[in-house]
Amino acid sequence: MTQQTSLVAVACAEAGAVDLLTLDAQTGQLEPSGRIGGLDGAAALAFGPDGTLYAACNGERPRVVVLHPDGAIGEERPLPASTCFIAAAPGGRGLFSASYGEGRLDLVPLPGAADDAGPVTFATGRNTHCAAVSPDGRFLYATSLGDDRVSWFTMDGDAAGPGVREPSGHVAAEPGSGPRYLRLNRAGDRAYVMHELSGDVAVYARQAESGRLELLQRTSAVDGLDLEPGVVRSAQTPDPGPGVVWAADLRITPDERFLYTTERSTGTLACFALREGLLELLGRIETEQQPGGAAVDPTGRYLLVAGEGSHAVTSYRIAADGSLSEASRARTSAGPVAVECGTGA
């Protein structure tokens, strides 16, 4: 990719494919550039620090593969469990893979790495959904949607070999709120958590030495949408219908001035300003149908939102006041569940 364009990857679970697009950094225009098939159950994406694109798939055998911008599939590695989220571990130590269905978080070697040791498994709790490492690399944080808690794990020499790691501590969320996505700021003194079942966004102060989290603020991203509290979903539970909270992603702009969340039942985006680390609701707009995945491009100028129900991705221009205006829209393969934006390797 050039300085004028970014690579956009969209995992389309229903189609078993990852769509590739380019994003023009000046105009926000989205242009399809390729489609990589043969990825049954494509569920999650991550860009590594070097720009390598990884895709996790929940087909007959869960696996993570390297994808090249030219559409080629590179090395792959089996995953120990189905996944809903992947992220590159610092220092090239591997990939974190969160399993919603099996309630665990695993650190596995990178695809193609010579290390064939078993995974490091973190006991995170039911319906694990994501992971984030503190900027100093000392602590790992993970959400348990089913147990309503956020746990942290000491990483200092604690993940040197396979086995199960227990948390160093945890903080309880509101009962029935379902913490889903967690993002840390660059300084590592704040953690922001999106709750799938209540639609609340929680702001925590983080202590660098102990890793401990302390609640500073809890605010609603869904107030006024006339929704009932959501339910923990699985293949065995009935669809509760469109009248309940079904919050999804949370993204922060690189300059840490704005935060955006998605709500799938109503197809809306909530826009927040970050003022001294705390949240102020700016407003809400309608977006794609069932917007499960969102991303901010590397320049911080555009927010990308994928609609699992509308089979499309939209780029929004982020104004100086944090408001959003549509810049471009592109059709995708069926069922886009995740979107990531990077420079590409």
Q: Which letter does DSSP use for residue 92 in this model?
A: G
pLDDT at 197: 98
Least confident of 181-195, 303-317, 331-345: 331-345
Q: What is the mean pLDDT of residues 14-23?
A: 98
DSSP letters spanning 325-341: EEEEEEE-SS-EEEEEE
Residue with tokens 């040197």: 160
Give 262-286 pLDDT, tens digit per residue. Answer: 999 999 999 999 999 999 999 999 9
Confidence band for 303, pLDDT divided at 50, 70 and 90: very high
Q: Comparing 14 with 164, which gets the higher pLDDT?
A: 14
pLDDT at 157: 60
Confidence band for 109, pLDDT divided at 50, 70 and 90: very high
pLDDT at 235: 85
Residue 316 above 90 pLDDT? yes
Residue 3 above 90 pLDDT? no
pLDDT at 345: 67
pLDDT at 92: 86
Q: What is the mean pLDDT of residues 3-31?
A: 96
* Region of residue 344 (phi > 0: left; psi between -120 and 50: alpha; otherwise: beta): left
Query: What fold does the segment set 46-331 form as a domain?
Result: Methylamine Dehydrogenase; Chain H (2.130.10)
Residue 118 above 90 pLDDT? no
> Cα separation of 92 and 108, whole Å?
11
Percent of the chain with pLDDT over 90: 90
Confidence band for 336, pLDDT divided at 50, 70 and 90: very high
Domain positions in the chain are 46-331
Residue 115 above 90 pLDDT? no
Give 186-217 pLDDT, tens digit per residue. Answer: 999 999 999 999 999 999 999 999 999 999 99
Confidence band for 236, pLDDT divided at 50, 70 and 90: confident
Give 241-265 pLDDT, tens digit per residue. Answer: 999 999 999 999 999 999 999 999 9
Question: Is the CB of residue 32 less than 8 Å from the CB of residue 69?
Answer: no
Q: What is the mean pLDDT of residues 165-172?
A: 96
Average pLDDT over the chain reads 95
Give 25-42 pLDDT, tens digit per residue. Answer: 999 999 999 999 999 999
Which of 285, 334, 329 lies closest to 309, judged by CA? 334
And the tokens for 68? Answer: 């090249």
Confidence band for 163, pLDDT divided at 50, 70 and 90: confident
pLDDT at 160: 53
Give 216-229 pLDDT, tens digit per residue. Answer: 999 999 999 999 99
- What lies within 8 Å, CB to CB, of 241 at 6+ separation is none
Q: Angle CA(41)–CA(38)–CA(236) in degrees, nearest 5?
A: 15
Confidence band for 2, pLDDT divided at 50, 70 and 90: low
> Cα separation of 211 and 73, whole Å?
38
Q: Where are the beta strands (DSSP E) in 148-209?
A: 149-154, 163-165, 169-172, 179-184, 190-195, 200-206
Residue 1 above 70 pLDDT? no
Give the amino acid at 312: A
Q: Comparing 115 with 49, which gets the higher pLDDT?
A: 49
Percent of the chain with pLDDT over 70: 97
Q: What is the mean pLDDT of residues 57-69?
A: 95
**The overall pTM is greater than 0.85:** yes
